[in-house]
């Protein structure tokens, strides 16, 4: 989805089906009106961001099948024309475009594998004076990097261009002082070691970048936490946000951020991860069963953030907040994908966004037995039983695997079996309890004490789960 604001216009372009996109425009803070459908001539079209030019709007797009690159131009945000963009070469994915004194700069990725669908990602920048003819510059990689790198955001500030992205499991920032002709990797004080930097925005003399910092024992980005870093001196030095939106569980993506009119916005998504956060599921299994919870946050300095009370936003059953912006007039607009299109909500310019405290995360006093730990006799411990491959095995309790001995129902969610409605199940795991009732007998029960399976030590290891 393309969502931009400049001057008196805010535009949205939605790709609802193959090759076709539908534009919408809000003029001077008014309601969105639908424009003419755009036939791009592409199979699976992915638009970049857009910029306002002297004669309208310019965006880039690429085909997710052929990886051809084209232009999108509009005089008014309602009528768009697809064109040809030259100079990108094969398998290019331009993702963000900005206007500069010399024309335009875009950043993104080039796929280097013989079959582009097989990957081989390298970061790339492109320059153009007219938006139609472009020249490419490879962004440098850190030492010992492989072909798994990408650039995803770019910002012009104080005569410098800053681009952000990642290389393997490392966040990277690039700098250019000549309008994007040449680039170098830059290490700026205050930015912690990151797995990825994805978004970079600015307003009111503050720059904000969004990324991921590795967490857990692996340290390779396989487990990540969201991080926001900010600069108040044109990007020379940085600091981590003092009171960022709260995070819980594993984050797969950096927080989307937007900036304008002296405010910052962020979308904070929480997806219950039963493997890393079983306590939540034992405290409130219904909340653990819920879908992703996406919440809007606001900050005036990028340092201290408050949760926006979005209770007035009525989402459909299968929709969620998707993106947001602060337009040039100061209006806050949020979008959510919905059946048949996109829903939009807004707060008027100058209005203080309603805020509310972060909800208390439910806690459980249930003792939980970890993988490989010892289960003492006659004591009941929480133990999530993953049932994608059925209920046949308990893994590594008291130094061994345990195999089922009773003839009760075997629920295998991977085969389409539905567990009984009264079982505490979330995301293919039963949140029940193990009790060592004899040296060679474990009972597995659910909250009301009902035993739903019994297990005995196995002389063979448990098989893997496909």
Shortest CA distance to 134 belongs to which of 173, 91, 87, 99? 87
How big is the chain, counted in residues? 466
CA-nearest of 268, 250, 266 to 258 is: 266
pLDDT digits (tens, 9 = 90+) for 269-321: 766 666 667 887 888 887 777 655 678 999 999 999 999 998 877 765 555 67
Mean pLDDT calculated for residue range 403-420: 92
- Output b/e per residue, 157-196; b: 16+ Cβ within 10 A: eeebbbbbbbbbbbbbbbbbeebbeebeebeeeebeebbb
Binned at pLDDT 50, 70 and 90, residue 218 comes out as very low
Coil/strand/helix, residue 119? coil
pLDDT level of residue 220 (50, 70, 90 thresholds): very low
Question: Under a CB-based contact definition with an 8 Å cutoff, are residues 446 and 424 in contact?
Answer: yes
Question: Which segment, 273-282, 321-330, 436-445, is predicted with the most confidence on average?
Answer: 436-445
What is the spatial distance between Cα 270 and Cα 199, in angstroms, rounded to a whole number?
A: 19
Residue with tokens 């398998």: 91
Q: Of 51, 37, 58, which is closest to residue 6 (Cα–Cα)?
A: 51
Q: What's the confidence (pLDDT) of residue 74?
A: 97
Determine the pLDDT at residue 274.
66
Out of 192-201, 307-316, 411-420, pick the least confident: 307-316
pLDDT band of residue 340 (cuts 50, 70, 90) is low
Task: List alpha helices for 275-329, DSSP H.
Answer: 278-283, 285-288
pLDDT at 259: 96
* pLDDT given for residue 320 in this prediction: 66
**Residue indicated by tokens 């979005």:** 310
pTM: 0.82
CA–CA distance, 17 with 47 (Å, rounded to integer): 13
Report the distance separating Cα 397 and Cα 330, nearest Å: 58
Q: d(Cα 401, Cα 393) in Å, to the nearest integer?
A: 7
What is the chain's alpha carbon radius of gyration, rounded to the nearest angstrom?
Answer: 26
Side-chain-side CA neighbours of 42 within 13 Å: the count stands at: 24
Mean pLDDT taken over the chain: 89
Domains of the chain, each with CATH number or no CATH: 2-347 (2.130.10.10), 380-457 (no CATH)
Q: For residues 324 and 137, what is the distance between their CA atoms, to the nearest angstrom?
A: 31
pLDDT digits (tens, 9 = 90+) for 86-118: 999 889 999 999 999 989 999 999 998 888 888
pLDDT digits (tens, 9 = 90+) for 8-56: 999 999 876 666 889 999 999 888 999 999 988 888 899 999 999 988 9
Q: Which of these, 158, 160, 90, 152, lies nearest to 125 by C-alpha position?
A: 152
């Amino acid at each position: 989805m393309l969502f931009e604001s400049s001057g008196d216009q805010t535009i949205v372009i939605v790709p609802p089906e193959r090759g076709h996109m539908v534009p919408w425009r809000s003029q001077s803070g008014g309601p969105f009106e639908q424009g003419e459908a755009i036939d791009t001539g592409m199979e699976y079209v992915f638009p970049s961001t857009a910029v306002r030019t002297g004669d309208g709007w310019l965006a880039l797009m690429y085909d997710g099948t052929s990886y051809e690159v084209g232009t999108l131009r509009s005089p008014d945000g309602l009528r768009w024309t697809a064109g040809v963009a030259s100079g990108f070469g094969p398998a290019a994915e331009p993702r963000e475009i900005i206007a500069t004194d010399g024309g335009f700069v875009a950043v993104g990725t080039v796929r280097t594998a013989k079959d582009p669908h097989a990957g081989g990602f390298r970061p790339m920048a492109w320059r153009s004076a007219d938006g139609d003819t472009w020249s490419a510059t490879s962004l440098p990689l850190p030492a010992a990097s492989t072909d798994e790198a990408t650039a995803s955001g770019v910002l012009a500030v104080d005569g410098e261009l800053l681009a952000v992205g990642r290389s393997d499991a490392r966040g990277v920032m690039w700098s250019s002082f000549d309008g994007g002709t040449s680039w170098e990797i830059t290490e700026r004080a205050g930015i912690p070691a990151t797995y990825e930097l994805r978004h970079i925005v600015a307003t009111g003399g503050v720059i904000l970048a969004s990324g991921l910092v590795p967490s857990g024992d692996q340290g390779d980005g396989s487990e990540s936490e969201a991080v926001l870093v900010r600069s108040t001196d044109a990007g020379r030095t940085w600091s981590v946000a003092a009171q960022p939106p709260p995070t819980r569980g594993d984050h797969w993506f950096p927080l989307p951020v937007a900036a304008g009119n002296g405010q910052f916005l962020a979308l904070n998504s929480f997806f219950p991860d039963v493997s890393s956060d079983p306590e939540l599921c034992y405290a409130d299994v219904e909340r653990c069963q819920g879908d992703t919870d996406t919440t809007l946050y606001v900050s005036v300095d990028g340092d201290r953030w408050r949760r926006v009370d979005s209770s007035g936003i009525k989402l459909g059953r299968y929709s969620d907040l998707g993106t947001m912006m602060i337009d040039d007039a100061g209006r806050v607009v949020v979008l959510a994908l919905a059946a048949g299109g996109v829903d939009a909500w807004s707060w008027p310019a100058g209005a203080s966004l309603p805020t509310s405290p972060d909800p208390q995360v439910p806690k459980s006093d249930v003792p939980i037995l970890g993988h490989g730990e010892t289960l003492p006799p006659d004591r009941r411990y929480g133990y999530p039983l993953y049932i994608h491959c059925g209920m046949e095995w308990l893994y590594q309790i008291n130094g061994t695997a345990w195999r089922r001995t009773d003839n009760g129902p075997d629920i295998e969610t991977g085969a389409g079996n539905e567990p009984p409605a009264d079982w505490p199940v979330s995301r293919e795991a039963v949140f029940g309890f193990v009790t060592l009732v004899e040296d060679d007998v474990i009972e597995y029960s659910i909250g009301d004490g009902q035993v739903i399976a019994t297990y005995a030590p196995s002389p063979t290891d448990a098989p893997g789960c496909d």
